[in-house]
Structure 1
Amino acid sequence: MKPFIVYYSYSGITRRLAEDIALITDGELRELKPERPYSFSYNTAVKEAREEIEKGYCPPLIQIQGAEAIKNAELIFIGSPNWLKTFAPPVRSFLRTVDLSGKTIIPFCTHGGGGFGRMIEDYKKECKHSIIKDGIALKGDYSFDELKAWLDSNL
């Protein structure tokens, strides 16, 4: 069975990582898009995200095409940039609207030096009935070979 790769990307860096995971694993790829996109200004987007994270806000998402396929997936990669040491609010929206009970979750993130921050703990809080693996946190300048080697040794 193919893995399911779900991700949110602000600048395209996490999208590239998600696409590479899909290429290597032959997985099904789905992007999370908030109904109201974050500002194009990075500093303004950080302020918007900080406010949402502090409030625990879950922004409404544009309907994911083919989301019903997640019901059949046993292995789900979930990706986000590291925003303030956790995943972006659209990922929280996804986690709170989809039943991932019994599924194996492999988190992935892109970061500028903070690794996962507290993401793994936050995934465990949001997905209490799922198996959360350690996952992979990569900087934006990762190499495809580095990712492939990690996937080959962890799947």
Structure 2
Amino acid sequence: MRKLSLSLIGLGILMLIAVIWVTGRKAVKQTNPTKQQTVATITKKRPNQPTNGKAIVIYMTHTGNTEAVAKTIQQQVGADSFRLQTKETYPTSYQKMLKVARAEQTSDARPELSGRLPDLKKYTYIFLGYPIWLNKNPMAINTFLSHYSSFKGKTILPFTTSGSSGLGASIPELKQQAKHATFRPGLAITDSQLADRTQPVKAWLKRNKF
């Protein structure tokens, strides 16, 4: 009887070990797919980064058109972004806004910006966007550029939105304000191009080796 009891105990121990081993195998099989799925999800969320974190999209928008182009550029190059805003908001009426813009241009005004401006030290490429008002950039863009003593080692890529004005006369103005900066050819998106902006944005980036 004693030998039989010992045999039964031994058999019970072996069965227990077998159960633990099988359970462990199932747990491993269930865990591994979860880890792979998590990694894949994180990878999909990572933005495209051909500029290796050295680019920033800085833009001023009034109707939202420039912001739409800015976001398209940001998605394509994986850049940071910053929206310039003035302390005094511009009228929503287009004609009233133009009246304010004309007065600012005439007096060579520097509208005050709200918030703290970004530190540009780590950036090599600055995508600078703005609407064209009366054939020029908003004077608030000059406020932004004059805030920095030098753009040495920085490359500025202007992009604009307008009804049909293209880049207007804004580029000479920018070059005068952004001391020591290197400029690359700009991108002008008109109202008729806005809905299908992705293709001209991609073509422009390709021409500028992005």
Q: Percent identity?
A: 29
Equivalent residue for 1:137?
188
Secondary structure of residue in 2 paired with 1:48: helix
Task: Work out the CA distance in 1 between the residues paired with 2:178 and 2:207.
Answer: 24
Q: Which protein, 1 or 2, shows the higher relative CO under an 8 Å CA cutoff with sep ≥ 6? A: 1
Amino acid at match of 1:145: Q
The CA distance in 2 between the partners of 1:113 and 1:64, in whole Å, is 33
Is 1:77 matched with 2:127? yes
Q: Report what 2:67 is aligned to.
A: 15
Which is richer in strand? 1
Deviation at 1:53, TM superposition (A): 1.3
Counterpart of 1:148 in structure 2 is: 202
Give 1:12's aligned amino acid: G
Deviates more, 1:79-88 or 1:144-153: 144-153
Give the CA RMSD over aligned residues. 1.4
Q: Which has the higher helix share?
A: 2
Q: Runs of 4 or more off by more than 4 Å in structure 1? A: none
The TM-score normalised by the length of structure 2 is: 0.69
Q: Work out whether residues 120 and 134 of structure 1, in 8 Å CA contact, stay in contact via their aligned partners in 2.
A: no
Range that drifts further, 95-104 or 117-126: 95-104
After TM superposition, give the deviation of residue 146 of structure 1 in Å: 2.0
User: Which range moves more in the overlay, 8-17 or 86-95?
Assistant: 86-95
Offset of 1:133 from its aligned partner? Answer: 1.2
Counterpart position of 1:113? 164
Is residue 103 of structure 2 the alignment partner of residue 51 of structure 1? yes
Alignment-derived partner of residue 49 in structure 2: none
The alignment of Structure 1 onto Structure 2 pairs a total of residues equal to: 153
Q: Name the residue aligned to 2:39.
A: none
- Counterpart of 1:71 in 2: which secondary structure? coil
Higher radius of gyration, 1 or 2: 2
TM-score (norm 1): 0.92
